[in-house]
Amino acid sequence: MNVKEIAESFPKLWLITVQIMIIANVLLFAAPTLAEGETESKPANVIVREAPKVADPSADPVQIGKAQAEKIKEDFIVGKVKSVSQPTINKDLLDKTGMVTKSQFAEIELQEGAQNGTLVKVENSLGDNPSFNINLSPGKEVILSVVSEQGKDSKEYNIADYHRAPALMCLAAIFLIAYLVFGGKSGLKSLLGLVVAICLIGFVLLPLSLQGFNPLISSALICFAAAIATIFAIAGLSKKATAAFLGTMGGVIVAGIAAYLVIDAAPLTGLSSEEAQILRASMPNQPLSFFSGLLAASMLIGALGVIMDVAISIASAVQELSQTDQSLNPKQLYTKGMNVGRDIMGSMTSTLVLAYSGGALPLLLLMSSMPSMKLINLDIVASEIASALAGSLGLVLTIPLTALAASRLMGSATHVSESKSDNVFAQLDEASKMTTASSSSNASGKAEE
């Protein structure tokens, strides 16, 4: 692996990231101003009723609740189960509500913090819903919620969830090792591009969305920056990378337009999932268009990876063809690139559709007995179908766009080199003719003498 080339790719990636971060900061400062401007410009026929002002803030129950919440602090630490008792049925709860709930007590050793090594006794409840149950056994690590109140020394310990981070980190380490071993230098560069893309989503898209900025515009900027970071990190500043980038942007634009149109025409609210409804409750001031834009943003980002994959594959194929047979003109390169693209189209479209279908598999099983007319018109089902179709449409149109860009860029270079080589051979041929003519004239002159 050439360390010098890898080191040279870092400034390019970080320069792109810094530029996007600067734009994001500008938008973060501008978003509240835009939101205030939208709030001030209300129609004349709308009557705004303000909440009555409370003379004594201490008498307001909302402010009292906020003050109490500020005094309560919750931390999360890792604990290891030392022993656990047999679960018993909570008879009081069964008699009052009819709910079958089992309780057990576990001794858990704290693994971090100031109380590292301390044993605490925690109650664990097991209900009818297995998705909320945490099955304990000696040696298993869990996440404990430690609730403390300001001014009091007592702390309340509750089992929050399993400690899943070690298993995930182990799998991530195996993935990175396999990725770098088999991917080599190209694998490392693509991994750097992936890191930049994740940073853009985490530090640009999410803060902008939380500030109320249009998620569709934010995701379009993220797709643009992520495509630059990933494609040019893999292929460098080359014609192949340029063709793949142009094809990717064309496919993303098509997918974004299709997503926007179907969301508006269907219409789709973007509030079909439980997570979206929780977000709606935490952001009550946002209009419904914000959540539909969030749905369109998820469609774009979900399709970006597959679109980039197809674009790079076609651009690489056209480049190899142009280098192997330099007699191919741009039209022939386009035809051959389309032939390769048609083979990729079927598998990649199936991959995209199956990915969305796999994510919605519990939903499909739940609604398999529902009439098809009602099923297809449900918001949550229509959202999944629209996501798959919009991404597939962008994927399909990426193929001709990439093939066209690659054939023009690489075919023109081939013809320029051919014309230069033809001129060189013509000059050599003319020079050889002149040499032959001069030598024959010299020979005839000597013969006459």
Q: What is the pLDDT of residue 69?
A: 55
Give the number of C-alpha atoms closer than 13 A to the C-alpha of residue 343, restricted to the C-beta side. 8
345 in any annotated domain:
yes
Please tell me whether residues 249 and 397 are part of one structural domain.
yes
Q: Would you call 97 exposed, middle or buried from its count of C-beta atoms within 10 A (0-12, 13-18, 19+)?
A: exposed
User: At which of 165, 188, 209 does a domain end?
Assistant: 165
Residues 144, 246, single domain; the answer is no
Check whether residue 250 and residue 360 sit in a common domain: yes
Strands 119-126 and 155-162: unpaired
- Whether 160 and 243 share a structural domain: no
Whether residues 273 and 396 share a domain: the answer is yes
Whether residue 54 is contained in a domain is answered as no
How many beta carbons lie within 10 A of that of residue 88, not counting itself?
10
What's the mean per-residue pLDDT of the chain?
76
pLDDT given for residue 63 in this prediction: 56
For residue range 118-167, what is the model confidence (pLDDT) as tens digits?
899 998 888 877 778 888 889 999 999 888 887 777 788 899 899 999 99
Same domain, 251 and 153: no
Are 254 and 397 in contact by the 8 Å Cβ rule? The answer is: yes
Domain of residue 136 covers 72-165
- Same domain for 267 and 374, yes or no, is yes
**121 vs 109: CA distance, rounded Å:** 9
**What pLDDT was estimated at residue 8?**
52
Query: For residue 227, which of 345, 340, 307 has the smallest C-alpha distance?
Result: 307
Domain with residue 115: its CATH number is: 2.40.50
Tokens of 65: 């609740």
Residue 53 has a pLDDT of 47
Domains held by the chain: number = 2
The verdict on 139 and 264 lying in the same domain is no
Q: Specify whether 367 is located in the same domain as 246.
A: yes
Q: Among 136, 165, 194, give the residue marking a domain's end.
A: 165
**Looking at the structure, do residues 261 and 381 belong to the same domain, yes or no?**
yes
Q: Which one, of 182, 279, 169, 187, lies nearest residue 230 by Cα?
A: 187
Say how far residue 72 (Cα) sits from the centre of its chain. 35
Taking phi over 0 as left and psi of -120 to 50 as alpha, with beta for the rest, 22 belongs to alpha
Residue 336 lies in a domain: yes
What does the H/E/C string look like for the chain? CCHHHHHHHHHHHHHHHHHHHHHHHHHHHHHHHHHHHHHHCCCCCCCCCCCCCCCCHHHCHHHHHHHHHHHEEEEEEEEEEEEECCCEECHHHHHHHCCCCEEEEEEEEECCCCCCCCEEEEEEEECCCHHHCCCCCCCCEEEEEEEEECCCCCEEEEEEEECCHHHHHHHHHHHHHHHHHHHHHHHHHHHHHHHHHHHHHHHHHHHHHHCCCCHHHHHHHHHHHHHHHHHHHHHCCCHHHHHHHHHHHHHHHHHHHHHHHHHHHCCCCCCCCHHHHHHHHHCCCCCHHHHHHHHHHHHHHHHHHHHHHHHHHHHHHHHHHHHHCCCCCHHHHHHHHHHHHHHHHHHHHHHHHHHHHHHCHHHHHHCCCCCHHHHHCCHHHHHHHHHHHHHHHHHHHHHHHHHHHHHHHHHHHHHHHHHHHHHHHHHHHHHHHHHHHHHHHHHHHHHHC
Asked, for residue 201, whether it belongs to a domain, the answer is no
Structure-block tokens of residue 373? 């007319």
Length of the chain: 449
What pLDDT is attached to residue 31?
A: 45
pLDDT reported for residue 108: 92
Residues 258 and 382 in one domain: yes
Domain-embedded: residue 117: yes
Residue 34 pLDDT = 41
Identify the pLDDT of residue 190: 77
Give backbone dihedrals phi and psi of 58, rounded to 5 degrees, phi first. Answer: -70, -20
Question: Is residue 52, in this structure, part of any structural domain at all?
Answer: no
3-class secondary structure for 180-197? HHHHHHHHHHHHHHHHHH
End-of-domain residue from the set 120, 143, 165:
165
Q: Which two tokens stand for residue 335?
A: 């035809």
Residues in the chain with pLDDT values less than 50: 1-3, 6-7, 10, 26-55, 57, 413-428, 431, 443, 445-449
Are 135 and 257 within one domain? no
Query: How far does Cα 373 stand from its chain's mean position?
Result: 32
Beta-carbon neighbour count of residue 219 at 10 Å? 27
Structural tokens at position 352: 């995209």
What gap in Å lies between CA 398 and CA 137, rounded to an integer? 52
List Cβ neighbours of 327 (8 Å cut-off, separation of 6 or more): 414, 418
Do 138 and 107 meet the contact criterion of CB atoms below 8 Å apart?
A: no
Angle between helix 330-359 and helix 379-448 axes, rounded to 10 deg:
160
Residue 33 pLDDT: 42
Residue 51 confidence (pLDDT): 44
Task: Assess contact for 280 and 291: CB atoms under 8 A.
Answer: yes
pLDDT (0 to 100) of residue 379: 84
Q: Identify which of 388, 400, 432 has the alpha carbon closest to the alpha carbon of residue 336.
A: 400
Kindly report the backbone phi and psi dihedral angles of residue 42, in degrees, each rounded to the nearest multiple of 5, phi listed first.
Answer: -105, 150
Q: Residue 66 falls within a domain, yes or no?
A: no
Q: Does residue 149 belong to any structural domain of this protein?
A: yes
